[in-house]
Amino acid sequence: MSNRERDGRWTEDRLVADVEQGPQGPQVGAFFDFDGTLIDGYSFGTFARHHLRSMHVTPGDVGRLLLIGMRGVTTEADFEQFFVLGMRAWTGRSEDELGELGERLFVQGIARSLYPEAWRLVEAHRRAGHTVVLASSATRFQVEPAARAMGVEHILVTPVGFENGICTGRPGGPPLWRAGKAAAVREFAPVHGIDLAASYAYSNGDEDVPFLEAVGRPRALNPGRGLAARARARGWPIARFRSRNHTGVTDVVRTVAGVGGMLGGFGAGLVTGLVTGGSRRDGVDLGITLAGDLGAALAGVHVDVQGAEHLAARPAVIVFNHQSQLDVLVLAKLLRGGFTGVAKKELASMPGFGLAFRLMDVAFVDRADGAKARLALEPAVQRLREGISLVIAPEGTRSATPALGPFKKGAFHVAMQAGVPILPVVIRNAGELMWRDSSTIRPGTVQVRVLAPVPTDGWTVATLDDHVADVRARFVDALAQWRPTVHEVRVATGPAGPVPDAPLDWGTAPEMNPLETAMWRAEDADPRLRANATMLELLDTAPDWERFRAAHEWASRMVPRMRQKVVEPALGVGAPAWVTVASLDLDAHVHHRTLPAPGSQRQMLDAAAEFAMAPLDRDRPPWRALLVDGLEGGGAAYVTVIHHSATDALGWLQLISKLHRDHPEPDPARPEPPVPDAGFAVPSALLTGQVSRTVTAAPGEVLRQGAGLLGSLAHPLATLSRAAAAVRTVGGAAVAPSGSPLLAARGGPWRFDVLDLPLAALRAGAKAVGGSVNDGLLAAVIGGFRRYHELLGAEAGDLPIGFPISLRREDDPQGGNRFTGARLVGSMAEKDPVERIRVVREFVLSARANPDVLGLLGPVMEWLPAPVVGAVSGRLSSANDVQVSNVPGLPREVYMAGARITRMYPFGPLPGCAVMLTLLSHAGTACIGINSDGAAVTEPDELVACLAEGLAEIVALA
């Protein structure tokens, strides 16, 4: 629960949920005050400004109104005097004339002050079948137009005096103010069968406490200080809506920046596209994308999209509900190019935007001349046939209220002629950030829902009206039944219904970090840098194939990352994005193999290595699995391969611990998340989005760097020491020590081998001389390679070993890669295992405090093309003869598809090194997976035996 909810403040979502979960039917009343509650401000002000401009009031009356307002309206007599002075301007005017004036002033002024949140709250009451009433101290000429626009049938208002159809300038009865409004509600209720105890009332005014007390569910909306205090004292819910009329200097500055970002982004994209040899359309598309991203970022506008997967159904006629001038920015950010549009002819001469619209081939229509408008749309049919979508607002103009206007048929005619679908884009709240005729943009999130495309096959002119009505009904339903996304605030009220099972919160980053980007791109430039990470799990029995396969389908719903592929930004620079695929071809990911007799361990390891080394399909989610049966003794092997850019070893273990079971039986209570919706990404949009984020973040980064510089100046010696360490690190990478000539060759097939020993024994041996398990492992590897060199008659010199240092903290998101690298140059000449552990221990402790090459170069790696990344990565990683990693595993026994896992062996990829050795602890056993390059290690059996002796040497220290 947020602080706002704890102090009695409710959100719009909670107010609506309260209505939906409360009593339904017409016996429940929903009474709304008007001024200050449904609209921001007072309708009287709009009328007063009109009367002043029209000279319908005297300066003396204006002065008296001001005096009463300054003194404060505290009694019924004060209100009646105030009301009579304001009504004098109506003296002598007919009822019809005042009705027409009220309608005109509502459209011209009052409508823009309507709170959209209050509008949706009224809609919620109407959906619940409640009897909705606007109860106001204002007159029906102020209130009735709003009630009609909102579909509200009943109003309770202060009557106006008429004689023979002419206004007398005096009230026609008691004003509905303070006790008068409460009395009117109590009189209305029995006549209309209203149960006031079950009814709602909403008001902002201190004077409306009696009105709120008349019902069982009072709500203080946008309350003044006095009402807020009374509401808190009585436990009434309080809600505040965003002001509609306040414009600050920051809003003006943000608007100027946003408009400048749009025009500048469009111009920059257009020029870039043309300079790089693209067509004008290529430049326009890049310009639209950059305009949307830069404009939105600088204006502080975010777009929350549901149904983005439907955007792939293009070309199409894209129809949207038009609320605001901000719709142009929203659509540019949403659609990312590939479209043209329709606009009123006046926009053709608009500075800046007129030229941009002409370059986009926008059709300018004369809304006053239907024949010319239809003629202007004819080229759009050809554009659609060329693959360019058409964006059009079927309402024809911006709505005066949040209500959806009638749809015109032009867009539907065009779609029918071109043979393309209608793609509905529902914009919920752009008007809340920039309302009709507003000149400033406010920061916030625009909520958009893209509905499923509507095919136009089989449409005819005779049936067109029905199709138009159908599409409009889809907009109405989407707006009426809008539900918050995961990005919006949810407040649970009342009895909770069944909650859909949620997937695991694992691997949720939408883009790769620099390290992941480097691993993904390096292998594209150099296949030797392939980053396929592998887990081999030995099973006590072969699981049922269908259950095994179904387990992966379930896991793909539990882990959305398993249904995401990688999409590269345009030009192959910037961070690749993770995008959910429309469907997962399970047969392309889950495989089965039976070993021929005798089904030895060597056969199984060779099958696993062959499966692991094969490149992953870069157009699919980067993982695959293999079930190997036919092993001696009836066992089986489960091999999973995942690209290292998806997760590091610790992240993988986090996932395994959640997906594997503690028992062999199926779990009937396991969560069953739905299949995630497909995503959508345009490479040019990915690039421009990242560029715009980088540009907008630059000022803050400069400030942070400046603050860091000032802090560094306060500690000059420490600063110089860190700088020197950084120089040494980069310099050391540039002149990395040459490894062993015996292991110099690279590029052979992968070879898998395994070792295991009691974890406690390895820990005890290392601990006996002041080391850790990791220290003992590194010392054992150096000792094992010393023996291997001696066995093959090679010089036992230096052995460069790379090893990861985890940067993962307990509160970090699960999955992904959070590690850095260090290099230890181990001396194989050192025969004493105690001395090796001491040297290793000192180095490991110092490595955590010093900068590393990955940390220094990481931020720029994602902005380098694949060939450069491959060259840099290859230079850094191939300088290591061996990579060693130690991963804490699972302390308990677990099961996969009913089979018990007896061993878990991890095999890291070979990023240019000769051998990758990884230890994972499983149920008290240190399981070691060894991946060796067949070109570098010519005698793998001997190497495994030597490494086993090196480990035994450490164990013996205990």
CA 791, 795, 798, 801 torsion: positive or negative?
Answer: negative
In this structure, what token pair is assigned to residue 915?
């051998």
% the chain with pLDDT above 90: 41
Inform me whether the pLDDT recorded for 710 exceeds 60. no
What type of residue is 335?
Answer: L
Phi, psi of 134 (to 5 degrees): -95, 120
Q: How far is C-alpha 435 from the geometric centre of its chain's CA atoms?
A: 25
Region of poorest pLDDT, from 160-169, 215-224, 248-257, 805-814: 805-814
Mean pLDDT of the 360-376 span: 62
Mean pLDDT of the 458-477 span: 94
Q: Torsion-angle region of residue 816: left (phi > 0), alpha (psi -120 to 50) or beta?
A: left
Q: How confident is the model at residue 6 (pLDDT cuts 50, 70, 90)?
A: very low
Mean pLDDT of the 223-234 span: 90
192 or 3, greater pLDDT = 192
Q: Please say whether the beta carbons of 207 and 81 come within 8 A.
A: no
Inform me whether the pLDDT recorded for 455 exceeds 70. yes
- Concatenating the DSSP letter of every residue in 141-173 gives HHHHHHHHHHT--EEE---EEEETTEEEEEESS
Model pLDDT, residue 492: 33
Inform me whether the pLDDT recorded for 598 exceeds 60. yes
Mean pLDDT of the 385-405 span: 82
Model pLDDT, residue 692: 62
Q: Please choose, from the candidates 885, 924, 875, the residue with its C-alpha nearest in 3D space to the C-alpha of residue 904.
A: 924
Q: What is the pLDDT of residues 566-586, one digit of tens each?
A: 998 877 777 889 999 988 999
Mean pLDDT of the 84-108 span: 82
Model pLDDT, residue 573: 73
Catalytic annotation present for 644: yes
Q: How confident is the model at residue 371 (pLDDT cuts 50, 70, 90)?
A: low
Inform me whether the pLDDT recorded for 74 exceeds 50. no
* pTM recorded for the entire structure: 0.53
Inform me whether the pLDDT recorded for 247 exceeds 70. no
Inform me whether the pLDDT recorded for 918 exceeds 90. yes
Mean pLDDT of the 617-626 span: 94
Count CB-CB contacts under 10 A for residue 575.
23
**C-alpha pair distances (Å), 847 with each of 268, 675, 839, 840, 853:** 45, 44, 12, 10, 12
- Write down the catalytic residue from 413, 644, 660, 922: 644
Model pLDDT, residue 864: 56
Model pLDDT, residue 19: 95
Q: Please say whether the beta carbons of 365 and 373 come within 8 A.
A: yes
What type of residue is 177?
Answer: W
- Concatenating the DSSP letter of every residue in 361-411 gives TPEEE-TT-HHHHHHHHHHHHHHHHTT-EEEE-TTSS--SSSSPPPPPSHH
Contacts (Cβ under 8 Å, ≥6 apart) of 500: 673, 674
Task: Give dist(CA 933, CA 640) in Å, integer.
Answer: 20
Q: Please choose, from the candidates 386, 384, 454, 463, the residue with its C-alpha nearest in 3D space to the C-alpha of residue 425.
A: 454
Longest dimension (CA), the chain: 121
- Concatenating the DSSP letter of every residue in 653-710 gives HHHHHHHSBSSSS--TT---PPPPPP----HHHHHHHHHHHHHHHHHHHHHHHHHHHH
Model pLDDT, residue 53: 64
223 or 870, greater pLDDT = 223
Model pLDDT, residue 649: 84
Model pLDDT, residue 398: 67
Q: Please say whether the beta carbons of 851 and 725 come within 8 A.
A: yes
Model pLDDT, residue 352: 66
Unique residue bearing structure tokens 């752009």: 430
Q: How confident is the model at residue 949 (pLDDT cuts 50, 70, 90)?
A: very high
Q: Please choose, from the candidates 353, 342, 857, 898, the residue with its C-alpha nearest in 3D space to the C-alpha of residue 627.
A: 898
Mean pLDDT of the chain: 82
Q: What is the pLDDT of residues 486-543, one digit of tens each?
A: 333 333 333 333 444 778 888 888 998 888 888 888 887 677 788 999 999 999 999 9
Count CB-CB contacts under 10 A for residue 781.
30
- Concatenating the DSSP letter of every residue in 538-589 gives EESSPPPHHHHHHHHHHHHHH-GGGGEEEEPPGGG-S--EEEE-S---GGGT
Model pLDDT, residue 722: 44
Model pLDDT, residue 80: 55
Question: Which letter, b or e, does each residue of 916-948 get, where b requires 16 or more Cβ atoms within 10 Å of its Cβ?
Answer: bbbbbbbbebbbbbbbbbbebbeebeebbbbbb
What type of residue is 295?
Answer: G
Inform me whether the pLDDT recorded for 134 exceeds 50. yes
Inform me whether the pLDDT recorded for 29 exceeds 50. yes
Q: What is the pLDDT of residues 819-875, one digit of tens each?
A: 777 889 999 999 999 999 999 988 887 765 554 444 444 555 555 555 555 455 555
**C-alpha pair distances (Å), 620 with each of 83, 426, 580:** 71, 31, 10
Q: Please say whether the beta carbons of 19 and 124 come within 8 A.
A: yes
